Chain A
Amino acid sequence: MTQATADERRTDGDRDTVLYEQMLFIRRFLEKVDVLYRQGQMHGPAHLGLGQEAIAVGAASVLRPDDYSIGTYRGHAHALARGAPPEAVLAELLGREGGICGGKGGSMHITSVEHGYYGSYAIVGAHLPIAVGLAWASRIKKTGQVTICFFGDGAVNIGAFHEAVNLAALWALPIVFVCENNQYMEYSPISSMIPVERPAASRASAYGLEPLVVDGNDVSAVAELVGAAVDKARDGGGPALIEADTYRLKGHSAADAGAYRPAEEVEQARTQEPLLRQRAALVSAGTDEQDLIRLETRIAIAVSGLADRVLAAPKPDPATVWTDVWADGGSRWRN
């Protein structure tokens, strides 16, 4: 997967197709993971971002290759959108040799530093302070890099969120916080857990930030708003806090059927999901539907081939469990 960078601007039509292609690849990838999970091929949980692809793809599309992004256990889409190799990501999920974290991270910690994706963290809110540190370093080094930090709606109620946004605003750091408001924190609707209207946007003014809200299922709208925030941050304009409305099409994790959600709500969400909408937008802008069908077929084949290859790969060498604790490569704590 490639990411469209600012200096690599295409015509809008091309760009919209690329965004669709990226979202579609991620959708098929996540669906495959869901199936593999249910077949018992995965060890450990899988938190899928099905339905939330437009945020990852739209945001990544406005970043420079050397920009930083960082996210949560629901982070597969974010890694792939930055260009992490899908085969290595899937190998990590399936516990195969060549896994992007060597089998030591698994589904919740997918990371691809080489592609600017500085990790997926599974303690809710914990990576916001870390993201602030990435942005602080860019400011000190004057590199012009921007950090995007993705987190869920549930994370706004934990202390680390407030400490991090406060510090970023105080130091005017080049960082864009993107709250993926999928309406639920695990099994509880976020509306039942906040005394304000919106989890992130309603908190923005406490840090002197503008309340920014975007339709997180509209990939172009995401790219536009996040792009403007990124440009501003890069120019020294300080942080932004964006709330992107979306919906988790499946349960909290692959093990959760999501039965606590009203059926009508899920049905309604299915009509608003980002792929349907981007496809309709492409067709109404004149894209030949046959081209889209060819694209969709190609991606379906690619993802199933990918899964076959990874499933056939060997398991990791048990001896590698002792590596990667220290920078010298080892794990010795005593002589």
Chain B
Amino acid sequence: MAELTYRNAVLAALAQEMERDERVVLLGEDITSGGVFKTTVGLVDRFGAHRVWDTPISEQAIVGAAMGAAMAGLRPVAEVMFSDFYAVCWDQVVNEIAKTRYMTGGQVTLPLVLRGANGFGSLGFGSQHGQSVENWAMCVPGLKIASPATPVEMVGLLAAAIRDEDPVLVFEHKALYGVKQPAPEGEQFIPLGQARVAREGTDVTLVGLSITVGMCERAAAVLADTGISAEVIDLRTLVPLDAQAVLGSVGKTGRLVVVEENPGQLGWGAAIAALAAEEAFDDLRAPVIRVSGGNVPWPVARELEAVVDVSPERIAWAVQTLMKHAAAPPRQH
């Protein structure tokens, strides 16, 4: 059976949507040569130079031009090579893209996608090329956020992002680009805002996003050997957030562990934990635990990376600690 890598899933989604809709145009640095992560290989030959545009190193111009083109009726997909670089064009993202529809009273529509490599994954990229930054975007109303965990998820979610009428930031985890899966058949589309149950379980809910979903699945496999049944939820998108999927699962298991790669001091996991505290308190049999990246600018040497990175072992350990609260009597409905 044909296999699909996460890297080629990006390419497949772009090609699928460019084929479907001639308003889809790409811009970014080095993308006609295939891009640094080889996610745009061959698109210029297939769709022509009027649809795939190389830019100078000008993130504000790239992201701002995507916005202008979206206002004028195109559906641009801009590559921000490393998501750390959002910091140099963050004004365009949060002050212009996120707000212009609202502050014009709905006069403009911004169907655009910003995509690029994100995440740590202990790859030696360090502090300025290794951050997970979905949480930066999550505190800004007006932005949708997708962060796919697998190749199949990537094709469907990126396609949905491109078809969406609103701005969507799609985060590609750079440590997942080489991950393979059997290639799905036919057109792919996964609606934004619907979480996925990656593994069913009854004792504890593990909520992950992007690379941490696979870590949660590996932790769940280990926990199963010790008699703990963990359910794994892949949020897929932070905005729109499938809060009901989380609350529903917690209603079943009574325990929640949220696993995020970004530093925990203000990660998206805090919002999920607060959601459970506010809306599922009666279901909880134990405190909510967050497993997150270390609260330091990230290091490079492997031994140092290992301390701050999330891992299946840390997740399993957190769950085992949590299960000690199981001594409390099960709640009565």
Q: Which stretch of B35-43, B65-73, B221-229, B262-270 is in the interface?
A: B65-73
Residue among A118, A127, A160, A334 with most chain B CB within 10 A: A334
Within 8 A of A (CB), among B95-150: 95-96, 100-109, 111, 141-142
Q: How large is the interface on A (under 10, 10 to 19, 20 to 34, 35 or more residues)?
A: 35 or more
Within 8 A of A (CB), among B157-195: 164-166, 193
Name the contact of A333 in the complex, choosing from B60, B107, B241 (C-beta under 8 A): B241
Residue among A121, A131, A138, A335 with most chain B CB within 10 A: A335
Closest to B271 in A: A334
Residue among A112, A138, A163 with most chain B CB within 10 A: A163
Would B96 and A130 count as touching, CB distance under 8 A?
yes
Name the contact of A327 in the complex, choosing from B92, B96, B166 (C-beta under 8 A): B166
B58 interface residue (CB < 8 Å to A):
yes
B304 interface residue (CB < 8 Å to A):
no
Would A140 and B64 count as touching, CB distance under 8 A?
no
Name the contact of A136 in the complex, choosing from B56, B68, B102 (C-beta under 8 A): B68
A68 interface residue (CB < 8 Å to B):
yes
B233 interface residue (CB < 8 Å to A):
no
Q: Which residues of chain A are within 8 angstroms of B69 by Cβ–Cβ distance? A: 133-134, 136-137, 140
Closest to A332 in B: B240
- A126-B25 in contact given A113-B104, A137-B73, A333-B240 (Cβ < 8 Å): no
Q: Which residues of chain B are within 8 angstroms of A129 by Cβ–Cβ distance? A: 60-65, 67-68, 92
A104 to B103: give the CA distance in the assembly, Å: 5
- A166-B242 in contact given A126-B95, A134-B68, A325-B141 (Cβ < 8 Å): no
A131 to B71: give the CA distance in the assembly, Å: 10
Would B55 and A137 count as touching, CB distance under 8 A?
no
Would A325 and B102 count as touching, CB distance under 8 A?
yes
Within 8 A of B (CB), among A152-170: 159-160, 163-164, 166-167, 170
A9 interface residue (CB < 8 Å to B):
no
- A167-B55 in contact given A104-B103, A325-B141, A331-B141 (Cβ < 8 Å): yes
A64 to B7: give the CA distance in the assembly, Å: 45
Residue among A101, A114, A331 with most chain B CB within 10 A: A101
Decide if the interface of chain B is mainly helix, strand, loop or mixed. Answer: mixed
A104 to B51: give the CA distance in the assembly, Å: 35
Q: Which residues of chain B are within 8 angstroms of A251 by Cβ–Cβ distance? A: none
Residue among A114, A132, A332 with most chain B CB within 10 A: A132
Would A140 and B105 count as touching, CB distance under 8 A?
no
Binary flags per residue of A317-335, CB closer than 8 Å to B gives 1, else 0: 0000001111111011111
Q: Which residues of chain A are within 8 angstroms of B72 by Cβ–Cβ distance? A: 68, 133-134, 137-138, 141
Would A167 and B239 count as touching, CB distance under 8 A?
no
Within 8 A of B (CB), among A25-48: none
A156 to B105: give the CA distance in the assembly, Å: 29
A102 interface residue (CB < 8 Å to B):
yes
Binary flags per residue of A87-114, CB closer than 8 Å to B gives 1, else 0: 0000000000001111111000101111
Within 8 A of A (CB), among B15-31: 25
Would B239 and A126 count as touching, CB distance under 8 A?
no
Closest to A159 in B: B60
A52 to B68: give the CA distance in the assembly, Å: 26
Q: Which residues of chain A are within 8 angstroms of B324 by Cβ–Cβ distance? A: none
Would A101 and B104 count as touching, CB distance under 8 A?
yes
Q: Which residues of chain B are within 8 angstroms of A132 by Cβ–Cβ distance? A: 61, 64-65, 68
Within 8 A of A (CB), among B216-268: 239-244
B333 interface residue (CB < 8 Å to A):
no
- A324-B68 in contact given A121-B96, A129-B60 (Cβ < 8 Å): no
Would B92 and A126 count as touching, CB distance under 8 A?
yes
Would A137 and B240 count as touching, CB distance under 8 A?
no
A140 to B241: give the CA distance in the assembly, Å: 35
Name the contact of A141 in the complex, choosing from B53, B62, B73 (C-beta under 8 A): B73
Closest to B107 in A: A113
Would A334 and B240 count as touching, CB distance under 8 A?
yes
- A334-B60 in contact given A137-B73, A324-B101, A324-B102 (Cβ < 8 Å): no
A135 interface residue (CB < 8 Å to B):
yes
Would B103 and A134 count as touching, CB distance under 8 A?
no
A100 to B73: give the CA distance in the assembly, Å: 21
Closest to B145 in A: A333
Q: Which residues of chain A are within 8 angstroms of B92 by Cβ–Cβ distance? A: 126, 129-130, 160
Would A123 and B95 count as touching, CB distance under 8 A?
yes
Would B101 and A163 count as touching, CB distance under 8 A?
no
Would A334 and B241 count as touching, CB distance under 8 A?
yes
> Closest approach, in angstroms, between the C-beta of B129 and any C-beta of chain A?
21
> Closest approach, in angstroms, between the C-beta of B278 and any C-beta of chain A?
12
Would B58 and A334 count as touching, CB distance under 8 A?
no
Q: Which residues of chain B are within 8 angstroms of A105 by Cβ–Cβ distance? A: 103-105
Would A164 and B64 count as touching, CB distance under 8 A?
yes
> Closest approach, in angstroms, between the C-beta of A44 and any C-beta of chain B?
12
B50 interface residue (CB < 8 Å to A):
yes
7 A-B contact pairs sorted by A residue (CB < 8 Å) = A111-B107, A127-B96, A136-B53, A166-B61, A324-B102, A327-B109, A327-B164
In the complex, given contacts A327-B101, A327-B111, what are 18 additional A-B residue pairs having Cβ atoms less than 8 angstroms apart?
Answer: A100-B105, A103-B105, A123-B91, A123-B95, A129-B62, A136-B53, A136-B68, A136-B69, A140-B51, A140-B69, A141-B72, A141-B73, A167-B65, A171-B53, A326-B165, A327-B164, A329-B106, A335-B241
- List residues of chain B with CB under 8 Å of any chain A CB: 25, 50-51, 53, 55-56, 58, 60-74, 76, 91-92, 95-96, 100-109, 111, 141-142, 164-166, 193, 239-244, 275
What are the 4 closest A-B residue pairs judged by CB atoms, nearest first? A133-B68, A129-B64, A102-B105, A327-B165
